[in-house]
Homo-oligomer: A and B are copies of this chain.
Amino acid sequence: MKNNFFEKAEILCVGTELLIGDIVNTNAAYLSRRLATLGIGVYRQAVVGDNPARLAEDLRAALSRADLVVMSGGLGPTYDDLTKETAAAVMGKKLYMHEESLARIEHFFRSTGRTMTENNKKQAMMPEDAVVFRNDYGTAPALAMENEEGKVVVMLPGPPRELEPLFREQVEPYLWKRCAAVMVSRNLHIIGMGESSVEAALPEAIRNSSNPTVAPYCDTGEVRLRVTAKAPTAEEAGAMADRMAAELMQLPLGAYVYGIDVPSPAHALIALLETEKLTVATAESCTGGLMAGELTAIPGCSAVMAGGVVVYQEREKTALLDIAPETLAAHTAVSATVAKEMAEGACRVLGADVGIATTGYAGPGGGTPEEPVGTVYMAVSFRGETVVERLSLSSKRDRKYVRDVAVKRAISFALSFLRQKTKKS
């Protein structure tokens, strides 16, 4: 029975545009990640061009080592695209015209007002007794075929916007029945603690736990504490992961967690503002509009986003936020005082409940001995109370990194301050 489960998988991507480096292979990472959640280990990823001989060689080699091979790309309509023909031959399958797919492809072209060419029909040819996964995102259907030894080849179209939903919605349920276990992860997003301190803050027992596993990962400006549980079903694994996540939230580090499985601090902040019916405004110097951009990236932010100002020059700091030239002269634009006045100015000028401000040196130029490149003051103002925090990043970091981290930190700083202020007692 056990050996009927998938254990080893390999990923085989086809595409000259990958080999010449015109595009980055995000499919391999996506497929590896998803297969891991099914408890299937990926032992190799390979990329080959549209060359039948090399492709056949690689596919045979992969099938000799793995019991599952997931392929992406090469399903295009052009006649020189022989990936499907080659894979079918290696698996000992003949191709036939899959009428349902043909009808879908014809419909797809009609609905998008494009004209279907003869060779698009080729995309509806399927290997005998293959499982066909219908593609609602493009023309080429995905498919899975199994040989006598029970080894499976899954073929997916190359464009990520087609491959990802097809794999998630149809291929995963198909693979399910041959998965020994399912892995479910929960991610605790932490800001304000480094990776090593998070690790040190974990009790011995949790650090050594093998199921669920608990491990910190370092992302830009934050640490992600990943809890991964393994169980026969997704429900059981999910419950195990949730119990561990709840346990971790009880630890002191729980105070630094801005959310569990939330895409970013901005999402968490917008959600909090919505529930509290509060509006927010930004005043940015070094982040130059990125903070407002991050908040407005979230659909529905218009309910809480008042607006923002980018005051890149001292003149604008005075003109738009009424910051006295004397203040700027006395403290310089990169100071706790100016950050504070910027946040308060944002509330006043844009008529918002919450004001968030950033001012600092993003580099490469600028900075002083006391305030080198990488120094950013962040301020949050709410109902007349304003808090300021100083962020000092290594001056070795580049401009983009300093700006991205400053945005993330400023937003999560606002988030934790508001959480504390709006907590129902």
Contacts and interface: CB of A to CB of B under 8 A. Distances in A.
A212 B268 CA distance: 52
Interface centre among A288, A305, A363 (most CB of B within 10 A): A288
Given A292-B289, A297-B288, A349 B365 contact: no
B350 A316 contact: yes
B18 A24 contact: no
A327 interface: no
Interface in A171-221: 217
Interface in A11-46: 18-26, 28-34, 36, 41-46
A377 to B, nearest CB: 17
Contacts of A33: 20-22
A36 B22 CA distance: 10
A30 B21 contact: yes
B22 A18 contact: no
B54 A43 contact: yes
A310 interface: yes
B290 A293 contact: yes
Q: Report the contact-size class of chain A (Cβ under 8 Å from the partner).
A: 35 or more
Interface of A: 18-26, 28-34, 36, 41-49, 54, 58, 217, 282, 284, 287-297, 299-302, 305-313, 315-316, 319-320, 349-351, 363-365, 399-400, 403
Top 8 nearest A-B pairs (CB, nearest first) are A288-B296, A289-B292, A21-B32, A21-B33, A289-B289, A289-B293, A45-B47, A308-B310
11 contacts: A19-B41, A21-B33, A24-B29, A25-B29, A44-B58, A288-B296, A288-B297, A289-B310, A299-B399, A305-B313, A309-B310
